Structure 1
Amino acid sequence: MTESEIVGTPAGDARITWHPAPGRARVVLAVSHGAGGGIGAQDLRALAAGLPPDGITVALVEQPWRVAGKKVAPAPKTLDAGWRGLWPALEKRGLPIVAGGRSAGARVACRTARELGARAVLALSFPLHPPGKPEKSRADELLGAGVPVLVVQGGNDPFGRPEEFPAGAYELVEVADADHGLSVPKRAALTQEEALGTVVDDVRKWIAARM
Protein backbone atom coordinates (compact mmCIF):
# COMPACT_ATOMS: atom_id res chain seq x y z
CA MET A 1 0.00 0.00 0.00
CA THR A 2 1.41 3.38 -0.97
CA GLU A 3 1.74 6.32 1.40
CA SER A 4 1.92 9.95 0.38
CA GLU A 5 3.22 12.94 2.31
CA ILE A 6 3.77 16.62 1.63
CA VAL A 7 7.15 17.98 2.70
CA GLY A 8 7.93 21.67 2.98
CA THR A 9 11.19 22.80 1.36
CA PRO A 10 12.83 26.18 0.64
CA ALA A 11 11.60 25.76 -2.95
CA GLY A 12 8.00 25.01 -1.95
CA ASP A 13 6.09 21.88 -1.01
CA ALA A 14 7.36 18.59 -2.39
CA ARG A 15 5.48 15.29 -2.35
CA ILE A 16 6.88 11.86 -1.51
CA THR A 17 4.90 8.79 -2.51
CA TRP A 18 6.19 5.82 -0.55
CA HIS A 19 6.13 2.26 -1.84
CA PRO A 20 7.22 0.40 1.29
CA ALA A 21 8.91 -2.97 1.33
CA PRO A 22 6.31 -5.45 2.64
CA GLY A 23 8.74 -6.99 5.11
CA ARG A 24 11.82 -5.53 6.73
CA ALA A 25 13.28 -2.84 4.50
CA ARG A 26 17.05 -2.55 4.22
CA VAL A 27 17.37 0.56 2.05
CA VAL A 28 15.37 3.48 0.63
CA LEU A 29 15.64 4.26 -3.06
CA ALA A 30 14.48 7.85 -3.51
CA VAL A 31 13.94 8.77 -7.15
CA SER A 32 12.72 11.99 -8.71
CA HIS A 33 11.38 12.79 -12.16
CA GLY A 34 12.82 14.78 -15.01
CA ALA A 35 12.12 18.28 -16.28
CA GLY A 36 9.50 17.12 -18.74
CA GLY A 37 7.42 14.68 -16.74
CA GLY A 38 6.43 13.36 -13.33
CA ILE A 39 6.56 10.22 -11.25
CA GLY A 40 4.25 8.50 -13.71
CA ALA A 41 7.26 7.77 -15.96
CA GLN A 42 7.27 4.11 -16.91
CA ASP A 43 10.69 3.34 -15.47
CA LEU A 44 9.84 4.94 -12.13
CA ARG A 45 6.58 2.98 -11.97
CA ALA A 46 8.43 -0.23 -12.78
CA LEU A 47 10.96 0.32 -10.00
CA ALA A 48 8.21 1.17 -7.49
CA ALA A 49 6.37 -2.05 -8.37
CA GLY A 50 9.33 -4.38 -8.69
CA LEU A 51 11.79 -3.50 -5.93
CA PRO A 52 9.82 -3.47 -2.63
CA PRO A 53 9.53 -7.30 -2.46
CA ASP A 54 13.33 -7.37 -2.25
CA GLY A 55 13.46 -5.18 0.84
CA ILE A 56 13.89 -1.92 -1.06
CA THR A 57 11.45 0.82 -0.10
CA VAL A 58 10.94 3.11 -3.08
CA ALA A 59 10.18 6.79 -2.53
CA LEU A 60 8.92 8.58 -5.65
CA VAL A 61 9.64 12.27 -5.23
CA GLU A 62 7.72 15.07 -6.91
CA GLN A 63 9.67 18.29 -6.93
CA PRO A 64 7.93 21.47 -5.69
CA TRP A 65 7.45 22.89 -9.18
CA ARG A 66 5.43 19.82 -10.17
CA VAL A 67 3.39 19.87 -6.97
CA ALA A 68 2.60 23.53 -7.65
CA GLY A 69 1.26 22.62 -11.10
CA LYS A 70 3.95 24.44 -13.07
CA LYS A 71 4.91 23.16 -16.51
CA VAL A 72 8.50 24.37 -16.65
CA ALA A 73 11.24 23.25 -14.28
CA PRO A 74 13.20 25.97 -12.44
CA ALA A 75 16.95 26.50 -12.47
CA PRO A 76 19.25 23.73 -11.17
CA LYS A 77 19.94 25.73 -8.01
CA THR A 78 16.23 25.68 -7.14
CA LEU A 79 15.90 21.99 -7.96
CA ASP A 80 18.80 21.24 -5.62
CA ALA A 81 17.22 23.33 -2.86
CA GLY A 82 14.01 21.32 -3.12
CA TRP A 83 15.90 18.02 -2.97
CA ARG A 84 17.96 19.10 0.03
CA GLY A 85 14.84 20.30 1.80
CA LEU A 86 13.02 16.98 1.53
CA TRP A 87 16.02 14.85 2.45
CA PRO A 88 15.29 14.84 6.23
CA ALA A 89 11.91 13.24 5.49
CA LEU A 90 13.74 10.42 3.71
CA GLU A 91 16.14 9.99 6.62
CA LYS A 92 13.31 9.49 9.11
CA ARG A 93 13.05 5.86 8.03
CA GLY A 94 16.44 5.26 9.58
CA LEU A 95 17.73 3.40 6.53
CA PRO A 96 20.58 3.93 4.06
CA ILE A 97 19.42 6.04 1.13
CA VAL A 98 20.21 5.62 -2.55
CA ALA A 99 19.53 8.94 -4.27
CA GLY A 100 18.17 8.71 -7.77
CA GLY A 101 16.30 10.35 -10.54
CA ARG A 102 15.65 10.35 -14.23
CA SER A 103 17.15 12.96 -16.55
CA ALA A 104 17.23 16.30 -14.67
CA GLY A 105 16.46 14.41 -11.47
CA ALA A 106 19.59 12.32 -12.03
CA ARG A 107 21.66 15.49 -12.27
CA VAL A 108 20.22 16.72 -8.96
CA ALA A 109 21.07 13.41 -7.28
CA CYS A 110 24.64 13.52 -8.56
CA ARG A 111 25.21 17.14 -7.56
CA THR A 112 24.01 16.65 -3.97
CA ALA A 113 24.88 13.03 -3.14
CA ARG A 114 28.07 13.57 -1.21
CA GLU A 115 26.85 16.47 0.92
CA LEU A 116 23.58 14.74 1.84
CA GLY A 117 25.19 11.43 2.72
CA ALA A 118 23.59 9.32 0.01
CA ARG A 119 25.08 5.83 -0.14
CA ALA A 120 24.91 5.72 -3.93
CA VAL A 121 23.20 7.30 -6.94
CA LEU A 122 20.90 5.78 -9.55
CA ALA A 123 20.95 7.90 -12.71
CA LEU A 124 18.20 6.99 -15.16
CA SER A 125 18.71 8.50 -18.62
CA PHE A 126 21.45 10.87 -17.49
CA PRO A 127 21.32 13.90 -19.83
CA LEU A 128 25.01 14.00 -20.72
CA HIS A 129 24.39 16.91 -23.09
CA PRO A 130 21.49 18.69 -24.81
CA PRO A 131 20.41 16.89 -28.01
CA GLY A 132 22.77 17.70 -30.86
CA LYS A 133 25.15 19.64 -28.61
CA PRO A 134 27.79 17.20 -27.33
CA GLU A 135 30.14 20.10 -26.64
CA LYS A 136 27.88 21.16 -23.74
CA SER A 137 28.80 18.18 -21.59
CA ARG A 138 27.51 17.64 -18.05
CA ALA A 139 29.98 14.83 -17.40
CA ASP A 140 31.49 16.76 -14.50
CA GLU A 141 28.28 16.31 -12.50
CA LEU A 142 28.31 12.57 -13.06
CA LEU A 143 32.03 12.15 -12.39
CA GLY A 144 31.87 14.39 -9.32
CA ALA A 145 29.11 12.52 -7.47
CA GLY A 146 31.61 11.14 -4.98
CA VAL A 147 29.62 7.93 -4.34
CA PRO A 148 28.96 4.78 -6.40
CA VAL A 149 26.78 5.57 -9.42
CA LEU A 150 24.75 3.36 -11.74
CA VAL A 151 23.73 4.92 -15.05
CA VAL A 152 20.86 3.28 -16.95
CA GLN A 153 20.98 4.66 -20.48
CA GLY A 154 19.02 4.04 -23.65
CA GLY A 155 21.09 2.97 -26.64
CA ASN A 156 19.47 5.69 -28.76
CA ASP A 157 19.18 8.45 -26.18
CA PRO A 158 19.71 11.81 -27.96
CA PHE A 159 20.84 13.30 -24.64
CA GLY A 160 23.83 10.94 -24.66
CA ARG A 161 24.31 7.48 -26.09
CA PRO A 162 26.25 4.98 -23.97
CA GLU A 163 29.33 5.17 -26.18
CA GLU A 164 29.53 8.94 -25.61
CA PHE A 165 30.04 8.62 -21.86
CA PRO A 166 33.58 9.21 -20.60
CA ALA A 167 35.54 6.70 -18.59
CA GLY A 168 35.02 7.10 -14.86
CA ALA A 169 34.24 5.51 -11.51
CA TYR A 170 30.64 4.57 -12.28
CA GLU A 171 28.76 1.68 -13.87
CA LEU A 172 26.62 1.97 -16.97
CA VAL A 173 24.05 -0.47 -18.29
CA GLU A 174 22.54 0.00 -21.71
CA VAL A 175 18.92 -0.54 -22.64
CA ALA A 176 19.34 -1.51 -26.27
CA ASP A 177 17.44 0.60 -28.82
CA ALA A 178 15.76 2.68 -26.07
CA ASP A 179 15.27 6.43 -26.22
CA HIS A 180 15.45 9.03 -23.44
CA GLY A 181 12.24 7.72 -21.88
CA LEU A 182 13.65 4.17 -22.04
CA SER A 183 10.97 3.32 -24.59
CA VAL A 184 11.95 0.72 -27.17
CA PRO A 185 10.61 0.50 -30.74
CA LYS A 186 8.45 -2.41 -31.84
CA ARG A 187 11.32 -3.79 -33.91
CA ALA A 188 13.56 -4.10 -30.84
CA ALA A 189 14.75 -7.51 -29.65
CA LEU A 190 13.02 -6.95 -26.30
CA THR A 191 9.42 -5.89 -25.72
CA GLN A 192 8.79 -2.78 -23.63
CA GLU A 193 7.82 -4.93 -20.66
CA GLU A 194 10.97 -7.03 -21.00
CA ALA A 195 13.15 -3.93 -21.27
CA LEU A 196 11.70 -2.45 -18.09
CA GLY A 197 12.05 -5.81 -16.36
CA THR A 198 15.74 -5.80 -17.26
CA VAL A 199 16.11 -2.31 -15.79
CA VAL A 200 14.50 -3.42 -12.53
CA ASP A 201 16.72 -6.51 -12.36
CA ASP A 202 19.88 -4.49 -13.01
CA VAL A 203 19.00 -1.95 -10.32
CA ARG A 204 18.06 -4.71 -7.86
CA LYS A 205 21.38 -6.50 -8.34
CA TRP A 206 23.38 -3.30 -8.15
CA ILE A 207 21.76 -2.22 -4.88
CA ALA A 208 22.08 -5.73 -3.41
CA ALA A 209 25.83 -5.67 -4.11
CA ARG A 210 26.20 -2.48 -2.03
CA MET A 211 23.73 -2.80 0.82
Structure 2
Amino acid sequence: MTIDKSSIVDIDVKSPQTPIARLILAHGAGEGKEHPFMQEMASHLVAGGIEVVLFNFPYMQQMKETGKRRPPDKADKLLAHFAEVITHITENIHSSLPTFVGGKSMGGRMASMLYQEHDEIQGAMVFGYPFHPPGKPEKTRIAHMPTLTKPMLIIQGERDTFGTEQEVLNYTLPASIDCVFLADGDHSFKPRKASGKTQHEHMVYAAKLCVDFISRLI
Protein backbone atom coordinates (compact mmCIF):
# COMPACT_ATOMS: atom_id res chain seq x y z
CA MET A 1 0.00 0.00 0.00
CA THR A 2 1.49 3.34 -1.03
CA ILE A 3 0.27 6.76 0.05
CA ASP A 4 0.87 9.74 -2.21
CA LYS A 5 0.23 13.17 -0.74
CA SER A 6 1.75 16.54 -1.55
CA SER A 7 3.92 16.74 1.56
CA ILE A 8 3.90 13.06 2.55
CA VAL A 9 5.13 10.70 -0.14
CA ASP A 10 7.05 7.45 -0.45
CA ILE A 11 5.27 5.62 2.38
CA ASP A 12 4.54 1.89 2.47
CA VAL A 13 2.18 0.26 4.94
CA LYS A 14 2.65 -3.46 5.52
CA SER A 15 -0.12 -4.93 7.62
CA PRO A 16 -1.18 -8.35 8.89
CA GLN A 17 -4.84 -9.31 8.59
CA THR A 18 -5.55 -8.33 12.19
CA PRO A 19 -2.82 -6.04 13.52
CA ILE A 20 -2.43 -5.56 17.27
CA ALA A 21 -0.33 -2.39 16.98
CA ARG A 22 1.53 -0.17 14.55
CA LEU A 23 5.24 0.61 14.26
CA ILE A 24 6.34 3.61 12.17
CA LEU A 25 9.88 2.66 11.20
CA ALA A 26 12.54 5.08 9.88
CA HIS A 27 15.57 4.08 7.83
CA GLY A 28 19.28 4.66 8.46
CA ALA A 29 21.46 7.41 7.01
CA GLY A 30 22.78 5.64 3.92
CA GLU A 31 19.92 3.46 2.71
CA GLY A 32 16.16 3.92 2.47
CA LYS A 33 13.12 1.84 3.26
CA GLU A 34 13.91 -0.48 0.34
CA HIS A 35 17.09 -1.78 2.02
CA PRO A 36 17.03 -5.55 2.75
CA PHE A 37 17.41 -4.93 6.49
CA MET A 38 14.29 -2.75 6.56
CA GLN A 39 12.29 -5.12 4.38
CA GLU A 40 13.25 -8.26 6.30
CA MET A 41 12.59 -6.66 9.68
CA ALA A 42 9.21 -5.42 8.48
CA SER A 43 8.35 -8.92 7.27
CA HIS A 44 9.18 -10.51 10.64
CA LEU A 45 7.22 -7.84 12.52
CA VAL A 46 4.17 -8.27 10.31
CA ALA A 47 4.34 -12.02 10.95
CA GLY A 48 4.16 -11.13 14.64
CA GLY A 49 0.98 -9.12 14.20
CA ILE A 50 2.49 -5.65 13.90
CA GLU A 51 1.51 -3.20 11.17
CA VAL A 52 4.72 -1.62 9.88
CA VAL A 53 4.90 1.79 8.23
CA LEU A 54 8.05 2.38 6.19
CA PHE A 55 8.91 5.76 4.70
CA ASN A 56 11.78 7.63 3.10
CA PHE A 57 13.03 10.96 4.39
CA PRO A 58 13.03 13.76 1.76
CA TYR A 59 16.79 13.55 1.10
CA MET A 60 16.44 9.83 0.39
CA GLN A 61 13.58 10.53 -2.00
CA GLN A 62 15.88 12.94 -3.85
CA MET A 63 18.62 10.32 -3.97
CA LYS A 64 16.19 7.87 -5.56
CA GLU A 65 15.04 10.45 -8.09
CA THR A 66 18.51 11.67 -9.12
CA GLY A 67 20.61 8.58 -8.58
CA LYS A 68 23.15 10.74 -6.76
CA ARG A 69 24.15 10.13 -3.17
CA ARG A 70 23.78 12.95 -0.67
CA PRO A 71 24.12 13.29 3.10
CA PRO A 72 21.08 13.28 5.37
CA ASP A 73 19.33 16.53 6.13
CA LYS A 74 19.83 18.25 9.48
CA ALA A 75 18.05 16.72 12.46
CA ASP A 76 15.38 19.42 12.61
CA LYS A 77 14.25 18.69 9.05
CA LEU A 78 14.31 14.94 9.63
CA LEU A 79 12.29 15.31 12.82
CA ALA A 80 9.74 17.57 11.14
CA HIS A 81 9.16 15.05 8.37
CA PHE A 82 8.96 12.15 10.83
CA ALA A 83 6.33 14.08 12.81
CA GLU A 84 4.32 14.73 9.62
CA VAL A 85 4.35 11.02 8.83
CA ILE A 86 3.15 10.19 12.35
CA THR A 87 0.28 12.67 12.09
CA HIS A 88 -0.74 11.49 8.64
CA ILE A 89 -0.69 7.81 9.55
CA THR A 90 -2.42 8.09 12.92
CA GLU A 91 -5.18 10.29 11.51
CA ASN A 92 -5.86 8.31 8.35
CA ILE A 93 -4.99 4.63 8.70
CA HIS A 94 -6.34 2.34 11.44
CA SER A 95 -6.38 5.35 13.71
CA SER A 96 -7.31 3.31 16.78
CA LEU A 97 -4.19 1.12 16.66
CA PRO A 98 -1.67 1.54 19.48
CA THR A 99 1.25 3.30 17.81
CA PHE A 100 5.01 3.03 18.30
CA VAL A 101 7.96 4.54 16.45
CA GLY A 102 11.41 3.23 15.74
CA GLY A 103 14.18 3.01 13.25
CA LYS A 104 17.50 1.68 12.07
CA SER A 105 20.52 3.65 13.32
CA MET A 106 19.92 7.32 12.40
CA GLY A 107 16.19 6.67 12.00
CA GLY A 108 16.12 5.16 15.47
CA ARG A 109 17.92 8.15 16.89
CA MET A 110 15.29 10.44 15.32
CA ALA A 111 12.54 8.26 16.81
CA SER A 112 14.15 8.56 20.24
CA MET A 113 14.25 12.35 19.90
CA LEU A 114 10.56 12.81 19.10
CA TYR A 115 8.51 9.99 20.65
CA GLN A 116 8.43 11.60 24.09
CA GLU A 117 6.62 14.65 22.68
CA HIS A 118 3.81 12.75 20.94
CA ASP A 119 0.97 11.65 23.21
CA GLU A 120 -0.24 9.15 20.62
CA ILE A 121 3.10 7.29 20.66
CA GLN A 122 3.40 4.64 23.37
CA GLY A 123 7.06 3.74 22.98
CA ALA A 124 10.07 3.46 20.70
CA MET A 125 12.33 0.74 19.30
CA VAL A 126 15.81 1.18 17.85
CA PHE A 127 17.82 -1.27 15.77
CA GLY A 128 21.47 -0.33 16.24
CA TYR A 129 21.49 3.02 18.04
CA PRO A 130 24.33 5.29 16.83
CA PHE A 131 25.66 6.10 20.30
CA HIS A 132 28.74 7.72 18.74
CA PRO A 133 30.44 7.93 15.33
CA PRO A 134 32.71 4.92 14.67
CA GLY A 135 36.14 5.51 16.15
CA LYS A 136 34.97 8.58 18.11
CA PRO A 137 33.54 7.24 21.39
CA GLU A 138 33.92 10.65 23.03
CA LYS A 139 31.29 12.19 20.70
CA THR A 140 28.22 10.61 22.25
CA ARG A 141 24.66 11.15 21.02
CA ILE A 142 22.81 10.55 24.25
CA ALA A 143 22.33 14.07 25.66
CA HIS A 144 18.53 13.83 25.35
CA MET A 145 18.21 10.38 26.91
CA PRO A 146 18.17 11.27 30.64
CA THR A 147 14.85 13.08 30.13
CA LEU A 148 13.10 10.12 28.50
CA THR A 149 10.35 8.54 30.58
CA LYS A 150 8.41 6.57 27.96
CA PRO A 151 9.55 2.98 27.29
CA MET A 152 12.25 2.45 24.67
CA LEU A 153 13.87 -0.78 23.49
CA ILE A 154 17.34 -0.63 21.96
CA ILE A 155 18.60 -3.75 20.20
CA GLN A 156 22.35 -3.54 19.64
CA GLY A 157 25.01 -5.81 18.22
CA GLU A 158 27.66 -6.65 20.84
CA ARG A 159 30.45 -5.33 18.59
CA ASP A 160 28.55 -2.46 16.95
CA THR A 161 31.15 0.18 16.04
CA PHE A 162 28.54 2.86 16.84
CA GLY A 163 28.39 1.57 20.42
CA THR A 164 29.66 -1.77 21.66
CA GLU A 165 28.07 -3.62 24.55
CA GLN A 166 30.93 -2.62 26.85
CA GLU A 167 30.61 1.05 25.89
CA VAL A 168 26.83 1.15 26.23
CA LEU A 169 26.86 -0.54 29.63
CA ASN A 170 29.12 2.26 30.87
CA TYR A 171 26.53 4.92 29.97
CA THR A 172 24.06 6.14 32.56
CA LEU A 173 20.73 5.60 30.84
CA PRO A 174 17.29 6.04 32.40
CA ALA A 175 15.30 3.05 33.60
CA SER A 176 12.83 3.63 30.75
CA ILE A 177 15.43 2.37 28.24
CA ASP A 178 16.00 -1.36 27.88
CA CYS A 179 19.08 -2.48 25.92
CA VAL A 180 19.42 -5.98 24.53
CA PHE A 181 22.68 -7.11 22.92
CA LEU A 182 22.93 -9.63 20.09
CA ALA A 183 25.84 -12.06 20.26
CA ASP A 184 28.79 -10.91 18.10
CA GLY A 185 26.46 -8.72 16.01
CA ASP A 186 27.68 -5.67 14.12
CA HIS A 187 25.69 -2.51 13.34
CA SER A 188 23.33 -4.52 11.13
CA PHE A 189 23.26 -7.49 13.55
CA LYS A 190 25.59 -9.56 11.35
CA PRO A 191 27.83 -11.88 13.39
CA ARG A 192 31.07 -13.52 12.33
CA LYS A 193 30.85 -17.15 11.20
CA ALA A 194 32.91 -18.34 14.15
CA SER A 195 30.17 -17.14 16.50
CA GLY A 196 27.83 -19.90 15.39
CA LYS A 197 25.07 -17.32 14.91
CA THR A 198 23.57 -15.87 11.74
CA GLN A 199 22.19 -12.47 10.84
CA HIS A 200 18.83 -14.07 10.01
CA GLU A 201 18.60 -15.58 13.50
CA HIS A 202 19.35 -12.19 15.03
CA MET A 203 16.74 -10.49 12.84
CA VAL A 204 14.07 -13.00 13.85
CA TYR A 205 14.99 -12.63 17.52
CA ALA A 206 15.04 -8.82 17.31
CA ALA A 207 11.55 -8.83 15.81
CA LYS A 208 10.33 -11.14 18.59
CA LEU A 209 11.78 -8.78 21.19
CA CYS A 210 9.84 -5.93 19.59
CA VAL A 211 6.58 -7.88 19.49
CA ASP A 212 7.01 -8.85 23.15
CA PHE A 213 7.86 -5.24 24.05
CA ILE A 214 4.75 -3.95 22.29
CA SER A 215 2.52 -6.68 23.74
CA ARG A 216 3.56 -5.78 27.29
CA LEU A 217 2.69 -2.13 26.74
CA ILE A 218 -0.71 -2.57 25.11
Q: Shared fold (TM-score greater than 0.5)?
A: yes
8 Å CA contact 1:51–1:204 kept in 2: the answer is: yes
Q: Tell me the equivalent position of 2:66.
A: none
* SS of structure 2 residue aligned to 1:108: helix
Distance 1:83 1:183, change over 3 A: same
1:28-177 aligned within 5 A: 28-69=22-63, 71-91=70-90, 92=92, 93-94=94-95, 95-117=97-119, 118-165=121-168, 166-167=171-172, 168-169=174-175, 170-177=177-184
TM-score (norm 2): 0.87
Q: Return the offset for 1:7.
A: 4.2
Q: Which residue of 2 aligns with 1:5?
A: 3
In structure 2, stretches of 5+ residues that fail to align are 64-68
Task: Give ranges in structure 1 of 5+ residues lacking alignment.
Answer: none
Assess, with a 3 A threshold, how the Cα gap between structure 1 residues 89 and 56 changes in structure 2: closer, same or farther.
same
Out of 8, 14, 18, the position equivalent to 2:13 is 18
SS of 2:143's partner is helix
Q: Distance in 2 between matches of 1:7 and 1:182?
A: 34
> In 2, are the aligned partners of 1:162 and 1:174 still within 8 Å (CA)?
yes
Q: 1:181 aligns with which of 170, 177, 188?
A: 188
How big is the alpha-carbon RMSD for the aligned residues of Structure 1 and Structure 2? Answer: 1.7
Which residue identity does 2:134 align to in structure 1?
P
Aligned mates of 1:155, 1:41 — CA distance in 2: 22
CA distance in 1, matches of 2:37, 2:197: 15
Query: 1: CA distance between counterparts of 2:4 and 2:115?
Result: 22
Normalised by the length of structure 1, the TM-score is 0.89
Instruction: Go from structure 1 to structure 2 and tell me whether the alpha carbon gap of 1:187 and 1:7 turns closer, same or farther (over 3 Å shift).
Output: farther
C-alpha contact 2:158 2:182 (8 A) present in aligned 1 = yes
Kindly state the Cα deviation for residue 8 of structure 1 after the two structures are TM-superposed.
4.2
Q: Supply the AA of the counterpart residue of 2:73.
A: P
Aligned partners of 1:123 and 1:150 also within 8 Å: yes
